[in-house]
Amino acid sequence: MFFLSDSTGITAETLGNTLLTQFPGHRFERRTIPFITTVEEAARVVQAIDAVAAAGPRPIVFSTAVNRDIRAILSQSSGHFMDLFGAHIAELEDALQAPASGEPGKAHGVGDAIRYQLRMTAVEYAIEHDDGQSIRALERAELILIAPSRCGKTPTAMYLALQHGILAANFPLIEEDFARRSLPDPLRPFIHKCFGLTSLPVRLSQIRQERRPDTTYASLAQCSYELRNAEEMYESNQVPYVNSASMSVEEISATILQRMQLHH
Amino acid sequence: MFFLSDSTGITAETLGNTLLTQFPGHRFERRTIPFITTVEEAARVVQAIDAVAAAGPRPIVFSTAVNRDIRAILSQSSGHFMDLFGAHIAELEDALQAPASGEPGKAHGVGDAIRYQLRMTAVEYAIEHDDGQSIRALERAELILIAPSRCGKTPTAMYLALQHGILAANFPLIEEDFARRSLPDPLRPFIHKCFGLTSLPVRLSQIRQERRPDTTYASLAQCSYELRNAEEMYESNQVPYVNSASMSVEEISATILQRMQLHH
């Protein structure tokens, strides 16, 4: 599988990989070739694809190249060429009653500078507010993720920051919170921003075992205790929550954006 | 614009937004509706789209729903329906000589558990090794980003970790390094893993001004000095580098993956 682009290749990879998940029995070798911006480079890429085609099964080529000349060259390789771009752009020109610009892909460039800066600021914010490290500027947070240790708070906050520019803090729920049966004090003014994660005791114990094998911390009993208490705390404070045990950060994030109506 | 999906909606957003960048004169209001997994939900979504269509210009609907029944319902709204999935899946079935599974999108689920775990581990690693905070386990790094302060090291390391599972540390280049005309000592055994970032003095000064206005740190003279020295250091140590001044993290990351041959 080749993912070809005149830009980063992210769109080609994203749609190409999505389509390939529909063929779970197959194993694919994947290669991304980004920044194909001249006809000379396009010709070299065709040579590379032809070499692969000569040596084995016919490769499939996903392309999001915008430029007509470059697309024309790329389509001539001996691979099976799938134009992920041209197929839809004519339809969209028709729907919008306007011509496409034909400029090379800018979808993953800086683009809207304000929106981009928001994302960069959010990454810093997520790092500074990782794992309850700082209670400074919590009033700026758009989201405060809470959960017992190792339920997925950190990567979820990072994903929401990087991809969506969401100012996300994350806070661990610990023994003291459970003993007092209340959320950590610094969060009390911001309960409406909180979202909880929970997991399955067996899954959580497994993850903790990898980190600190044979500790109370990783024991099934402790994990059950913490998750039960966390869920009770979410319920009693009307904090929305989701069981992250079998979910990816992308799925957890999409769920949070939808439930908290956070999409920018 | 509606982005509809039976899963996270990430693929619909990615391709849809890519296509929309081809119409730079237009402003679009965007709404993502993920996890449409039943025909009842699909019918409710159609109602929501019809309400928007009744109130203003005809909305455009990007869908990556896999299930035939759900697609059939979604396609009946008064929006302009663009099936980003069906269009390609038949072509791919033909190329692979195999039927698609028809299962709802799994592209952004946990998927390959080993690959997923790698990404989560990489996020932790990137946080632990942000801004030279730790020199522990540098031998595990696949990439060490180096640059003067505020050239984009942190978000780039985070992006590569989260999206590609790359173990990426990042290290600041500071006054002492320039005075000694050598890379920080802990990096010397790992020069082959280093990748440098540079910027334009005016751009860097602007970014630093926002953080610490009217300081030597943010002055144009200081920024010029640091960037000139950093570039000399990259050159003399044969460390590959890129000027990140007008690049997004996605573009910087795609460049690094390509130049360092890091794609997993």
Interface check B90 vs A, CB under 8 A? no
Q: Where are the domains of chain B?
A: 2-96, 113-260
pLDDT digits (tens, 9 = 90+) for A223-250: 999 999 999 999 999 999 999 999 999 9
pLDDT level of residue B161 (50, 70, 90 thresholds): very high
pLDDT digits (tens, 9 = 90+) for B175-205: 999 999 899 999 999 999 999 999 999 999 9
- Closest residue on chain B to A101 (Cα): B22
Q: Residue B264: what pLDDT?
A: 66
Residues 216 through 235 of chain A touching chain B, CB cutoff 8 Å: none
CA-based nearest residue to B241, from B161, B143, B160: B143
What does CATH list as the number for B113-260?
A: 3.40.50
pLDDT digits (tens, 9 = 90+) for A190-217: 999 999 999 999 999 999 999 899 999 9
Mean predicted confidence (pLDDT) in B21-36: 91
B chain contacts of residue A102, beta-carbon cutoff 8 Å:
22
Residues 8 through 47 of chain B touching chain A, CB cutoff 8 Å: 8-11, 14-15, 17-26, 30-35
Q: Residue B136: what pLDDT?
A: 87
B7-B13-B18 Cα angle (round to 5)? 150
Interface check A82 vs B, CB under 8 A? yes
Mean pLDDT taken over chain B: 93
Mean predicted confidence (pLDDT) in B23-31: 89
The answer, yes or no, to whether residue B5 has pLDDT greater than 90, is yes
Give the residue carrying structure tokens 């969060």.
A187
Mean predicted confidence (pLDDT) in B153-173: 97
What does CATH list as the number for A113-259?
A: 3.40.50
Residue set of the binding site of B for ADP: 147-154
The answer, yes or no, to whether residue B149 has pLDDT greater than 90, is yes
**Residues of chain A where predicted confidence (pLDDT) is lower than 50:** none
pLDDT digits (tens, 9 = 90+) for B64-74: 999 889 999 99
pLDDT digits (tens, 9 = 90+) for B201-246: 999 999 999 989 999 999 999 999 999 999 999 999 999 999 999 9
B chain contacts of residue A120, beta-carbon cutoff 8 Å:
152, 155, 249
Q: Dihedrals φ, ψ of B80, to 5°?
A: -85, 105
Residue B185 to residue B254: CA distance in whole angstroms: 28
Distance from CA of A236 to the nearest CA of B (A): 27
Residue A116 to residue B75: CA distance in whole angstroms: 33
Distance from CA of B170 to the nearest CA of A (A): 14
Residues A159, B154: C-beta atoms closer than 8 Å: no
CA-based nearest residue to A131, from A142, A141, A113, A144: A144
Q: Residue B113: what pLDDT?
A: 85
Residues A9, B108: C-beta atoms closer than 8 Å: no
- Burial (CB < 10 A; 0-12, 13-18, 19+), residue A178, is middle
CA-based nearest residue to B141, from B179, B183, B170: B170
Instruction: Fill in the amino acid letter for B196.
Output: G
Give percent of chain A with pLDDT exceeding 90.
Answer: 83
pLDDT digits (tens, 9 = 90+) for B93-111: 999 999 998 887 677 888 7
Q: Residue A264: what pLDDT?
A: 66
The answer, yes or no, to whether residue B125 has pLDDT greater than 70, is yes
